[in-house]
Amino acid sequence: MNQIDRPRRRFADEMEGTTSERSGRHETRRLRHELRRRTVTVSRLEHLTPRMMRVHFISPELADFVSAAPDDHVKLFFPQAGRIDGKPVMRDFTPRAFDRAAGSLTIDFALHATGPATEWAASVRVGDQLDIGGPRGSQVMPDDFDWYLLIGDESALPAIGRRVEELRPGVPVTTLVTVVHPYEEQRFAARAAWTPIWLHRGEPSDADAGLLCDRLASFQPPPGDGFVWIAGEAMIVRALRAYMTEERGHPKAWLKAAGYWQRGRSDGNVAIDD
């Protein structure tokens, strides 16, 4: 039996004993929200790590802001001085935290080499303003799984951190995250039984898929039903999704995968799920 066969058999064995379809557990709720565009003002900046800029926004327009799922996204509109049509460019970001009563919203920007969003975040100042749209909707996964596995890179860390912090006390959650350097590791205020695994890989590259699959080969899932969430560079997410479903036999219905960016392409978010 090779390294890949061993975990596949273990996942398959576990699946035979599940009763979740009969009991109606794990049903995703899809919510639509009124699409609103809001202007928000930067109130505070935190260099969370050398490559992660946490931006705190405030606005009275956030009094009715809704974000029901940790992997929701808002559209950020970045003004482009040189653009002929004068239109802002849009990029997707995760509401890392929000407080309607305080009218506040927090967004974490992974700083990378180039692009309107990363350049804005690298030079932002308190008092700057930005327009945001959405979230348009939320896919709410009930917190009724027996365990969770969250996989991603720096761009996925805000959604991973929010989910870890929102999970119920004591539930096992493993995070497997590639980062440039040990300095990029983060701490989350988890009530869940959180096992972080950090892979220090230097700058992102195509080799990250192999690195992650190698580490996943020794992942021992706890007993019961598990939810797997994957996000990051699209090609790597595709490879990991195939590994988890085809090699490990993880049920597709209990896995969500999203391409958050594409190497060499601007605004490269892509749907990965069938």
Ligand X SMILES: Cc1cc2nc3c(=O)[nH]c(=O)nc-3n(C[C@H](O)[C@H](O)[C@H](O)COP(=O)(O)OP(=O)(O)OC[C@H]3O[C@@H](n4cnc5c(N)ncnc54)[C@H](O)[C@@H]3O)c2cc1C
Binding flag, residue 18, ligand X (CB under 6 A) = no
Report the residue number, 158 or 172, with the smaller CB distance to ligand X. Answer: 158
Query: Which residues are within 8 A (CB) of 13 and not within 5 positions of it... i.e. 6 or more apart?
Result: none
Give the bridge partners for 139, in sequence order. 30
| In the complex, residue closest to ligand X by CB | 115
Q: Closest approach of Cβ 262 to ligand X, in Å? A: 6
| Distance separating alpha carbons of residues 119 and 125, to the nearest angstrom | 12
Query: Which residues are within 8 A (CB) of 110 and not within 5 positions of it... i.e. 6 or more apart?
Result: 51, 52, 118, 153, 154, 155, 157
Binding flag, residue 7, ligand X (CB under 6 A) = no
- 177-236 positions binding ligand X, by CB under 6 A: 204
Give phi and psi for 180, each to the nearest 5. Answer: -60, -40
Q: Closest approach of Cβ 125 to ligand X, in Å? A: 18
Out of 109, 145, 227, 243, the only residue in the binding site for ligand X (CB under 6 A) is 109
Q: Closest approach of Cβ 207 to ligand X, in Å? A: 14
Out of 43, 88, 98, 118, the only residue in the binding site for ligand X (CB under 6 A) is 118
Binding flag, residue 260, ligand X (CB under 6 A) = yes
Report the residue number, 36 or 112, with the smaller CB distance to ligand X. Answer: 112
Give phi and psi for 238, each to the nearest 5. Answer: -60, -45
Q: Which stretch binds ligand X (CB under 6 A): 86-94, 166-174, 182-190, 243-251?
A: 86-94
Q: Which of 153, 155, 173, 156 is nearest to 164 (CA)?
A: 173
